[in-house]
Amino acid sequence: MRPIYLDHNATTPLAPPAQEAMLPFLADQYGHPFADHMLGRAAAQAIEDARARVAAAIGAAAEEVYFCSGATESCHAALAMRPRWAVTTAVDHHAVRDAPCGEDLVVVSVPPSGVAAAEAVADAAVDGETLVSVVHANNEVGLVQPVSDVAALLEGRGVLLHTDASQSFGKIPVDVGELGVDLLTLTAHKCYGPKGVGALYVRAGCGVGPPRARGGLLGPGTPDVAAIAGFGAAAELAARCVTESAARMAGMTQRLVDELRSGVGEELVVWGEGFERLPNTVAVALPGVSAESLLAACPELCATPLASGAGGGVSLCPTLRAMGAEPDRAQGSVRLSVGWHTEPEDVTRAAGLLVDAWERLTS
């Protein structure tokens, strides 16, 4: 049974250029990057090269990029830079919503569209004291959030602005200057790089910096040089291919929706329809079934349920709860996220499997 992988928002396969960049540091280039000898200097240079590649991919300077273990550590480090007061939205990732934030964390609700109102976010900030964190694109429904609009409203108020771009990078353009952010989070494994490495961008001149940073690293300890090298290669590739890949993936997700709607009918719910979403992401609800039962009936389909349980015991993912989705309507919600290598036949096969399973479960 060949799997159909439509779970690229969870993680992506390792791109060949990233794997190639990693291999020397898994074999003969094993030096510690803080050692002052030939192998150590080679490892340190690899980190700096990767730093430059990641920075260029987001329109930053190399010295503004710090490597870490992944998006969660990056988000936590960002919020720790202004520990007294933080503002986020109800559709941000739990890496931000559950981060230790000192005295207070204000969570701004969103309308049924799932797109935060920039004015509501800005109004919740306290001048000179707040760090605001607005996700660039939501991981569950794929809704793109108005980060640059928030930045414009916060200008001159002494408020730091962070965005988690780990889900958006490689799918839509990510440029720190255009977004107007002070801090930005990335992770490698969402953009065809290795797992276990991420980065935090810190704008030069924003008045804060990572407290324990050294040598382009966010925290102490021996860095994974191979993973960092792979991240640099993956980031460069993702930035170079983003326009072409976005157009291709948008075509795939539209085909997926069309084929599902053809089989299920107008009762199919497409969450966030009519609003800007990541081109690779579609979250749908098939009526009258639970997401768990639906995916269990399609074992070869790799996708993510957005609801668990059925009937009166439905538990929805945080984004659908924030959007005010009705449990009975949303219980059959699944996230389908295509990737660079998804083929039209994968989409057709996935839609057919879901429709067939839905028909069996509702007959």
Query: Which of 220, 239, 258 is the last residue in one of the domains?
Result: 239
Tokens 């953009």 identify what position? 191
How many domains are there within the chain? 2
DSSP for 143-179, written as a single string: BBP-HHHHHHHHTTTT-EEEEE-TTTBTTB---HHHH
Query: Which of 178, 204, 239 is the last residue in one of the domains?
Result: 239
User: What is the C-alpha separation between 33 and 128, in angstroms, rounded?
Assistant: 38
Q: Are residues 162 and 36 in the same domain?
A: yes
Q: Which CATH number characterizes residue 337's domain?
A: 3.90.1150.10
Q: Residue 210 is encoded by which pair of tokens?
A: 């990572």
User: What is the C-alpha separation between 48 and 229, in angstroms, rounded?
Assistant: 9
Q: Are residues 225 and 286 in the same domain?
A: no
Range of the domain at 93: 16-239
Of 243, 264, 250, the residue nearest 334 (C-alpha): 264
Q: Are residues 197 and 251 in the same domain?
A: no
pTM, rounded to two decimals: 0.96
pLDDT in single tens digits along all 363 residues of the chain:
789 999 999 999 999 999 999 999 999 999 999 999 999 999 999 999 999 999 999 999 999 999 999 999 999 999 888 767 899 999 999 888 877 765 578 999 999 999 999 999 999 999 998 999 999 999 999 999 999 999 999 999 999 999 999 999 999 999 999 999 999 999 999 999 999 999 999 999 998 877 677 778 988 889 999 999 999 999 999 999 999 999 999 999 999 999 999 999 999 999 999 999 999 999 999 999 999 999 999 999 999 999 998 766 889 999 999 999 999 999 999 999 999 999 999 999 999 999 999 999 999
